[in-house]
Structures are given as structure tokens and as C-alpha cells.
Structure 1
């Protein structure tokens, strides 16, 4: 009954507990396939700078055949760090598409981190060389750690990883999670690290080019995460126009991602590779780029996963929400 309706609240600690890597990868893969088959809709993205110094955005969409509807409100508030808070903030809201009634409010920070890292793993599985043994990771924050964690799942042959911090100094807290599994090296010279790597992961704030184009060697694959807003970039000039480009969503990448700098560059959506719509075979010398701006459908399929698990296990906080 309308008067007995409840709204489920799922906080960050419960989200982190319910996120399982294989389940997240499967949910993100489904999102890409839905997008590739045009069975899920992605609505125009809101992404605007605020007078407070933050950036606020909304990503939303639906899958009509699955009764899936919702949005993620998220952004970046760098001043949060000065008070011990996380700069990235995100909240996901799922709705009943038949009535518009809200079903579940979910903390979106962990979802964003995990679904982006899962997308990166899918990109590596599809686009990078299976014999990749060395990587360079730009960034040492939550997303960089998650990207590397999922990269090790996608490419288990990786044995050596260079990481590039903002000041080129070691980050013991970053190294702690990987030191027993791989050779982890703090790179003082970004170009030298890139030149020794088969994979490049860029997970920074997108403040500008991170290395020189000439440092890339043939056969390298790049997962690019940080360019997700107008004006952001991580790649130097000369990379996008020389590489084979793939994106989660072409329109979005041309507005917000690395493709915003050369929007006429030919590119293919990852969903079209997964569905077989576009055949793909890597040539040994190909340089490939996955331009990752983040797809609303990724947030929704992972949020639905969390919602289902919480309901099945009787977890979360249900509050009265009569309508």
C-alpha cells in the first residue's frame, strides 16, 4: 500500500561489504552490453563547476525492459581533504519506473570507485596485450589503487608496476596493498616509466598532460580515467590522433573525455566490442586508448546489485516513505 511504502538506505560501510569484485565486473559488463545493444538509455550528463570550488554532476539513465531507473549525483570537492574528508562525493538513487517512487538511496563513493576499476579491467581484457608484464600508474589515490587491483585480476602476468605520485615521492600507504604481490617502484621520471611499460593507467585529477608522447612505445595500451569534465586532460598532444581509440560512450567522451581535444577522431564504443557489433584484433604495434568518462548504466547496474543483496540479506535501514 502507498502508506506502507519504505525507502531503503545503504551506507558506505555496507556498500563496501557487499561489493564483490567478480560481481561488479559482471554488472559493468552488462551495462556495456546494454549500451552496445541500445537497450539502455543514457541521458545527457550534468557536470558543472560550483562557486564553492567543487564540481557537481548528475549521470542518469534507464533500462526499460528491466525496470531499472535512477541517477548518481556526484562530484569533486578538493577542500574536503583539509577536514579529513573524501574529495569525491557520490549518492545513487534508484526509482520504481512505473510510479516514480524512490526505492533505495545508496552511498555512491565505493560504487564509483569499484565500477570504474571494473570498467578498466574490462578494457584491459579486451584491448591490452595478454603478455603485458609492466605497467605505469599515474596517481596514488583511491581510484589509482582500485585500478591497479583490478588490473592485476585482468592481467595476472603483470609483475612490475611503476607509480607516479604528484610530487614524485614514495607513498608507503599506496605501496602497502601491493608490496607482497608485485615489484612496485616509485618513478622519479614519468617518461622513463612510460617507456618501460606495456600498460599505462592514468587516474589523476586531469590537470594536464602527464608524460611526453614520444615516451610511448609501440604496443602500449592506456586506460585513461581522469578526464571526465570539460577542460580536463591527462594525455599529451599527439597520442589520441596516433592511437586506436575506444570509449565507454562516444558522445560523452567527445564532450568530457580525452576525445574533447580531438572530437573528430574515429573511435569505437566498448559495448560494440562486447556484443560483436565491431570486430577487433590487436596488431602487435597498436597503441590503444580506452577513454573512460563513466557510464550512468554502470552506476545503475552496480547499484541494483547492492540493492538486491541488501534486500535478500535484510540489511540496510528502511524508513517510512509514504506516497
Structure 2
């Protein structure tokens, strides 16, 4: 089997590699060539979450699982809060093929998913990017988003304003001006909004969102988490990575629970990628992508990382 350690991932897989892998696997899911297995997730107390996401991609020839979770005390120990490892297996024999450090891959695949949604759903003339959240993943989200449209400005808001310099620094790195704003002003200016928080209460309200906005809601991946007021989803075209997961642990869970949204009103973004659904149908339409994060995303980027690591001599081969 091959081992690709966490330290080897940085500089190995870039945003374009991740985008290509995620777009392909979303398309395979919509064609029923790939499917995710039920998620196992457990609360360990103290805000800690641990679980398993897995799936089979027949088109890509990949079977795998990501094990890991969220450990909020890690920052005090000099580690990031999200910790995970991806294991890849031969789909024909079940033999373990690779173990891949999953921390950076998680950030890259999450950013790639929102970027795919922007590429396929945002207005072509989008000029202002709005960022809600300034945690570890926010910089990855911004870097991936700006590759999809010719943004001229970034506006941002965070629950903890002292963290906003991360957004300002990332925007400067990308050659874009940054402005810290209220949520009302963010909604008034932004053509695309990326929300990446771990909130358990809605921050972006229906009144904040103007016609034509695309929202990539990337933080809600557990029961109880919430970033958007459910009323937003009732006047938007709603897309997701996987419908079953969106209604159970994604942002859609709240609108569905309140009877404001049905499963049938949610479209897998793979259908847009494959041309089976038109996606955005007007410049005034609000579109929402509920990025819940599926196991097949982790498997896709991990498989690409293994290929690249082997090509560059960065993978370690061991006998199990």
C-alpha cells in the first residue's frame, strides 16, 4: 500500500486539481456511477465530532473512507481543529491501497465544491465576492472562488471580527481590495456569497439577499448547524452535492423540517454539470448550493493525491 503523509500534500495538489476531481465525481454521482454510503457521525462531548464518510465511485474505480472529525481544542495545542485520514481500497478485492493525510485535502475539496457551484451557477458578470466566516477554511474558499469569476472586490463578515485579517490578507494576496462590512451591507454588495462557519444559528437572513445572488453554503454538515434563514431557500433554486445528505445534515434540514422545502425541490449539482438541468435560468434568480461534504469528494481528491505523489516520488510504499 501507499502512504501519502499530511506533510506531502502541501504543494502536491492545487485548486485546479481539486476542482477537476470534484466536478468529475459530482457528475458521476448524478449519473448513478458513484454513490455515498450512510454517514456515521458521533458527538464526543465538548464540541468534538468524529465520524466516517465513505463511498464507491465506479467511474473512477475508487472505494474509500475518510475517518476524522472536529476537535475544537486543537488550536490551543498548535493543531488545526479538523483532523482526518482517507483510506483507499481496491473496489474489486477490498485490499487497502493507500492511506492519505486528509486535513489539507478536506480544505481543498470543500473549497473546490463551492468553486464548482460558482462556476456552474453564479452570474457570469459577478464582480463582488462576499465571505461569511474567517476560520481556517475561509482562505481556501476565497482562493478557489476567485478562479471562477473576475471578481473586483471582496467583502467579509465574521462572528469574531478580530479574525477578519485572515480574509484581508488573503484578498491582498490575490490582488483584490477587501472591506469588512455588516451582513446587511454584505448582502447589498455581494454577487456571490460563500458562507463557511460552524454556526448553530442562521447569520445570513432573507432580507440580506438580493435577486441574482449565488450562495455557496459550506459550513452546515451536521444536525443542528445552520448558516441561512430557511426563507432564503423558499425563493431560491436549491442545489446540493447529495440530496439525501442535504435534507438530513445539510443547510436544507431546517427548511425541510419547517415544511418550507421538499426533497423534490433540491437538485444535485451533478445534473447541471452533466447538462441534465439548466442550473441558473435568469440573472435575477437566487441560487443556493448546499455543500454538505460527501465521502466521494474525499476519495476523489485523495486518489488524485496518490497519483501525483507516486509520480513525484513523495509516496511511501509499505507492506501491510
Task: Please report the TM-score for the alignment, with normalisation by the length of structure 2.
Answer: 0.93
Matches of 1:179 and 1:133, distance apart in 2: 16
1:30-45 to 2 correspondence within 5 Å? 30-45=24-39
Q: Equivalent residue for 2:148?
A: 154
Q: Equivalent residue for 1:278?
A: 277
Q: Equivalent residue for 2:315?
A: 316
**Paired residues of 2:216 and 2:290 also in contact (CA < 8 A):** yes
Q: Deviations over 1:81-128 (max 9, x none)?
A: 122211111110001223222111111111111111111111001111
1:158-169 to 2 correspondence within 5 Å? 158-169=151-162
Q: Deviations over 1:272-292 (max 9, x none)?
A: 111122233431211110000
1:220 pairs with one of 213, 222, 225: 213
Pair 1:72 & 2:71 matched: no
Q: CA RMSD in A?
A: 1.6
Matches of 1:125 and 1:238, distance apart in 2: 25
**Paired residues of 1:127 and 1:282 also in contact (CA < 8 A):** no
1:182-221 to 2 correspondence within 5 Å? 182-187=176-181, 189-221=182-214
Q: SS in structure 1 opposite 2:172?
A: coil
Matches of 2:79 and 2:242, distance apart in 1: 31
Q: SS in structure 1 opposite 2:51?
A: strand
1:52 offset after TM fit, Å?
5.2
Matches of 2:61 and 2:118, distance apart in 1: 31
Matches of 1:65 and 1:167, distance apart in 2: 43
1:24 pairs with one of 8, 18, 25: 18
Q: Equivalent residue for 1:290?
A: 289
Matches of 1:173 and 1:65, distance apart in 2: 38
Q: SS in structure 2 opposite 1:308?
A: helix
Q: SS in structure 2 opposite 1:288?
A: strand
1:27 offset after TM fit, Å?
0.7
Matches of 1:222 and 1:193, distance apart in 2: 12
Taking structure 1 as reference, are residues 306 and 261 closer, same or farther at Cα in structure 2, changes over 3 Å only? same
Q: Equivalent residue for 1:250?
A: 243
Matches of 1:281 and 1:319, distance apart in 2: 48
Task: Please report the TM-score for the alignment, with normalisation by the length of structure 1.
Answer: 0.92
Matches of 1:211 and 1:67, distance apart in 2: 39
1:194 offset after TM fit, Å?
1.5
Q: Equivalent residue for 1:175?
A: 168
1:170 offset after TM fit, Å?
5.8
Matches of 2:291 and 2:163, distance apart in 1: 27
Structure of greater Rg: 1
1:205 offset after TM fit, Å?
0.6
Give unpaired runs (5+ residues) of structure 1: 1-6
1:169 offset after TM fit, Å?
3.7
Matches of 1:113 and 1:289, distance apart in 2: 20
2:138 pairs with one of 137, 140, 144: 144
Q: Equivalent residue for 2:40?
A: 46
**Paired residues of 1:170 and 1:186 also in contact (CA < 8 A):** no
Q: SS in structure 2 opposite 1:56?
A: strand
1:240 offset after TM fit, Å?
1.1
1:293 offset after TM fit, Å?
0.3
